[in-house]
Amino acid sequence: MEYTYIKLSDEEKEQLQKIKRSLKRENRIVTRAKIVLFLSEGKTYTEIMRFTDQSRASVAKWKKRFVAYGIEGLSDLPRSGKPRVVTARQEALVIEKACSKAEDGYTSWSQRRIAKSVGISQSKVNKILKDADLKPHTIEYWCGKSPDPEFEEKMTEIIGLYMNPPANALVLCVDEKTQIQALDRTQPELPLRQGNAKRQTATYKRNGVVSLVAALSVHKGEITAKTMESNNSSNFLSFLKSLGRKYPRKELHIIADNLSVHKHKDIKEWLSKKKNIHMHFTPTYSSWLNQIEIWFNILTKDVLKGGIWKSKEELVNQIMDYIKTYNMTRAKPFQWTYTGKVLTI
C-alpha cells in the first residue's frame, strides 16, 4: 500500500476542520481540506480516492500544493485574462437598490433585475449582497409595538396567570377559529405510493364553512371546544356558560382577545353576576399572548391542511374526534421558551 503522511500543526488542523464543517465554503475547497486531513491521518491514496470521489492525480496535486503553500495553497490560482471589474459606484448602487422600494410594480428586488439595472452579472450582485449580508428576497416577521397604553399592565397580568395562578383557579385561553372550509376535490385523491407523493387535484369544491370556539386549560393542556354556524356574541356567551357548567366549583380566569363579540353588553351583564368568572383581555395587537393560538396551529397542521370532506358534518365530526383524541393522548401544558436576543423598540 502507498501511505502518504502530512504532519499538521494544531493551528493548521483546527483551520482545516473549520473548512470541513463549513456550510458556506465552496464544495471544492471543502474536498481539498478533507484530502489534507486524510493525509494527516495516514490514509492511503486509494482510501482517500474512495472517501472523496477524487482521482489519484487530484489527491497528489492538493498534497503537493499544501506542502508548498500551506492552507492558502488550497485556493484556486488566479485565472488568466483580465478580470471583470465592478466599480465602487456599482457596488453602492446594488446595495442602494436592494434596500429601496422596487420599481415597475414589483414588491421587492430580485438579483436578476438588480443586475440588469446596474449593468453587471447576477453572480456579482449575489456576491455584493452576500458580503453586505443583505437578503432582499427574505422577509422576517416580528411582533411590533402595541399601541395599547395599558400594554405592560395587561401583559403582566396574563403572564402572572400563566406562571403563578391563584389557588383553586383555572386559567383558560379562549378564541375562535372562523371560516374553516369543508373542501372536497373534484377528482379522487391518489394515495401515497413508493416513489409518488399523495396527490390531489388543484381544483376543489366548497361544502360549507365551520367556525370553532375553543378553550385551552393552560395548566393541564385540555381542550374544550364546540363548532358553531357563525361567530357572534350570542354563541360566545353560550360557550362561556358551558365553561361555567363544566367547572362549577372553580374560579375561572378566561383570557381572550379584544374582538368586539367578547365585550358585548350581554356578556358584560352575565359576567357581572358571576363572581367566580373573570375575563382578561390581551393588549391590542398582542393576541400572540393567548396560548390557544399555539393549539390552533397544531389543529391546522394535524387536521385542516390537505383535508378532504364531502360535507360540513364530516368536517365537524373529524375536528371533534381529533379533539377527543388530543385530550386523551397529547394534552399537556405548553412550555414557552425563547433563546434569542432581547428585542427593543
Cell triple for residue 161?
Answer: 396567570
Q: What is the pLDDT of residue 138?
A: 82
Cell triple for residue 102?
Answer: 422596487
Partners of 175 in the β-ladder? 214
108 CB-side CA count, 13 A: 10
What residue segments make up the domains of the chain, in order of their start? 10-74, 88-131, 151-191+198-329
Inter-residue contact 261 to 236 (CB < 8 Å):
yes
pLDDT band at 338 (very low <50, low <70, confident <90, very high): low
CA distances from 181 to 128, 223, 229, 279, 344 (A): 46, 21, 12, 30, 39
CATH of 151-191+198-329, one of 3.30.420.10, 1.10.3720.10, 3.60.20.10, 3.30.310.50: 3.30.420.10
- pLDDT tens for residues 35-85? 999 988 888 888 889 898 999 999 999 988 888 888 888 888 766 665 567
| pTM of full prediction above 0.85 | no
203 CB-side CA count, 13 A: 3
Tell me the average pLDDT across 294-312. Answer: 93
pLDDT for 298 beyond 90: yes
Burial 331-342 (b: 16+ CB within 10 A, else e): beeeeeeeeeee
Question: Per mean pLDDT, which range of 13-17, 269-273, 336-340 is the poorest?
Answer: 336-340
